[in-house]
Structure 1
């Protein structure tokens, strides 16, 4: 197949209940046969996902499947990048799906402005509702690397890789740097940081074209000790990338410090929320105390150093003070009360 413009990169792991809807939403795109390929990476699935990938690859000449031992989402995406041949890469998670007009809209803006990165709005799909999440108030907004960095540093809203359309050349060129670790959480943030580092111009569009599915068994609801450790590792690694971008873009010392303060505030707030999701788990308090003490002891620089100016959410201020002062029983009590309160509110 010649002149492939778009490569859909779909990492697959134990999603046989969702995979068909995901792939059919790509196949139905008007330009699917003429200018697209789909790279499926079966990351050691133990259900029927791998067989489903093989069936689709046998049916469509522009769908390719790669099977590998379970290596995690980041390495599955690396395999996708390595084997893609399109000009632009589109990241789609295998339990999500795209709108029927996704490629028509994307191609209009790509053909018109040729941005390095395009970011569209998305729908957040729960069991009973569908929330529209926009990335700009304008129909389309072209922004600089500096503006994108500021948005990225201050909120998790722009972390996601899914739904992004990215020029493939710099991902391939820097593949060993971008995909040099194996983590189960925060991999989107890491990849997005590198995308900002190596891309020059970004286009945000208002239209919501991607459907992100909130699964009941998703990792977003609960966190393990390893998840928290991985998150801290990723936030620390990404901070170094943000600092490097500031240096490369000739930020003044005060500008860089302000940006990094925004990043550190967002990072600590997010990790404190991960701690809450860990305390929600139905395991013994003694096990939680051992794990949380170990996390704090091993990551003192992240939790304690230079945190005087950090801006935490109201409830996280209390929880943070309890945690760094090792009041773990009290923290657990607060988190359990918060958990019960949220269940009542969102019932």
Structure 2
């Protein structure tokens, strides 16, 4: 087989059978046949690795790599380093893709990045992400800062690593890989911030191609202090990037730091409601309160809480931020129970 046009990279770690089967099957249904599928079994302890092997025996476009657990970032990097396609695209093992993802996004001329659109699938409804870009809109190096601002914009919807085609040569040339110390949380935002830092050519395609499936049992939806800390490190890493990058003028640095402050306000609300005061978090109320107070004392969090722009934030999130400001933690705790 000649080098494929696109390599699908699918990290797999203890993915429920129904999700993993749907994911792999959707990839194999691509209308563009010149693909390879790299299933990275990242130390699964259930039957996920066996499912991957079963698919590989039936379709020679599939390669399975079994490795000790490295986390999501490490698994994605393994995929990139073993891919042979001109472009790569990331797919999480519990998500699925449209059959025309490749035929819709594959560019006629070389692009560093091609951006498609994402649907979020809940059990009883779908949320179609909205985008401010026009179909066929092109990007070049003059758009780098604007794209990085969109990465940090909570409503920009281009911060996920999936739903895109990324030129593999572009990644290696600019040494853009996932930071394996940031294995969970906001690792995709940090990766994409660097991804768009060097872009010379890119295009947006107005086509919903990727389905992000809400899984109530997934790592990202299960309260975890470890994941909270990892997500915080991602934002701290972006802050370090902005403050130390010599290519930024002082005006640009100020602009990006403000965008980061604004984005972290959403992270503060999510941490309070979906992590610390989530009823699934079984620790006592006093410990929850102390955990949030400690979180708010973090330098990056505290700076964003003071300087973030609340004007574009919805009323519900504004209320949570006010409750945090006045330390009305019992009300946050009650709202957490009502929400769930």
TM range (shorter): 0.7 to 0.9
Deviates further, 130-139 or 223-232: 130-139
Judged with a 3 Å threshold, the aligned counterparts in structure 2 of structure 1 residues 311 and 139 are, in CA distance, closer, same or farther, namely same
Structure 1 equivalent of residue 184 of structure 2: 184
Structure 1 equivalent of residue 199 of structure 2: 199
Q: Deviations over 1:156-209 (max 9, x none)?
A: 622100111101123234558643414221111121112112322321221101
8 Å contact from structure 1 (residues 25, 100) kept in 2: yes
8 Å contact from structure 2 (residues 261, 303) kept in 1: no
Structure 2 equivalent of residue 85 of structure 1: 84
**Gap regions ≥5 residues in structure 1:** none
Aligned equivalents of 1:337, 1:284: Cα separation in 2: 14
**Gap regions ≥5 residues in structure 2:** none
Judged with a 3 Å threshold, the aligned counterparts in structure 2 of structure 1 residues 216 and 166 are, in CA distance, closer, same or farther, namely same
Structure 2 equivalent of residue 237 of structure 1: 237
Aligned equivalents of 2:59, 2:87: Cα separation in 1: 20
Q: Which has the larger share of helix?
A: 1
- Residue 116 of structure 1: how far off its partner (Å): 0.7
What pairs with 1:176-325 in structure 2 (closer than 5 Å)? 178-243=178-243, 247-248=246-247, 250-251=248-249, 253-277=250-274, 278-280=276-278, 281-296=281-296, 299=298, 301-305=299-303, 308-312=306-310, 313=313, 314-322=318-326
Judged with a 3 Å threshold, the aligned counterparts in structure 2 of structure 1 residues 99 and 63 are, in CA distance, closer, same or farther, namely same
Judged with a 3 Å threshold, the aligned counterparts in structure 2 of structure 1 residues 174 and 115 are, in CA distance, closer, same or farther, namely closer
Judged with a 3 Å threshold, the aligned counterparts in structure 2 of structure 1 residues 96 and 302 are, in CA distance, closer, same or farther, namely same
8 Å contact from structure 1 (residues 193, 242) kept in 2: no
Aligned equivalents of 1:149, 1:138: Cα separation in 2: 17
Judged with a 3 Å threshold, the aligned counterparts in structure 2 of structure 1 residues 155 and 182 are, in CA distance, closer, same or farther, namely closer
Structure 1 equivalent of residue 23 of structure 2: 22
8 Å contact from structure 1 (residues 6, 88) kept in 2: yes
When the two structures are aligned, how many residues end up with a matched partner? 326
Deviates further, 301-310 or 164-173: 301-310
- Residue 342 of structure 1: how far off its partner (Å): 3.3
TM-score normalized with structure 2 length: 0.87
- Residue 244 of structure 1: how far off its partner (Å): 5.4
Structure 1 equivalent of residue 171 of structure 2: 171
Aligned with 2:127 (options 116, 119, 131): 131
Question: Aligned-pair RMSD on alpha carbons?
Answer: 2.3
Q: Deviations over 1:12-44 (max 9, x none)?
A: 111122111111111111222xx2111110011
What pairs with 1:23-38 in structure 2 (closer than 5 Å)? 23-32=24-33, 35-38=34-37
Structure 2 equivalent of residue 55 of structure 1: 54
Deviates further, 21-30 or 264-273: 264-273
Q: Secondary structure at the match of 1:2?
A: coil
Judged with a 3 Å threshold, the aligned counterparts in structure 2 of structure 1 residues 44 and 202 are, in CA distance, closer, same or farther, namely same
Say whether residues 1:342 and 2:318 are aligned partners.
no
Q: Secondary structure at the match of 1:209?
A: strand
Q: Deviations over 1:62-105 (max 9, x none)?
A: 21111111221111101111111111101111111111221211
8 Å contact from structure 2 (residues 89, 162) kept in 1: yes
Q: Secondary structure at the match of 1:95?
A: coil
Aligned equivalents of 1:305, 1:221: Cα separation in 2: 26
- Residue 213 of structure 1: how far off its partner (Å): 0.4
8 Å contact from structure 1 (residues 145, 202) kept in 2: no
Q: Secondary structure at the match of 2:172?
A: helix
Aligned equivalents of 2:289, 2:256: Cα separation in 1: 34
Aligned equivalents of 1:37, 1:222: Cα separation in 2: 32
8 Å contact from structure 2 (residues 160, 192) kept in 1: yes
Aligned with 1:114 (options 102, 110, 114): 110
Structure 1 equivalent of residue 96 of structure 2: 97
8 Å contact from structure 1 (residues 75, 182) kept in 2: no
TM-score normalized with structure 1 length: 0.86
Q: Secondary structure at the match of 1:198?
A: coil
Aligned equivalents of 1:105, 1:319: Cα separation in 2: 45
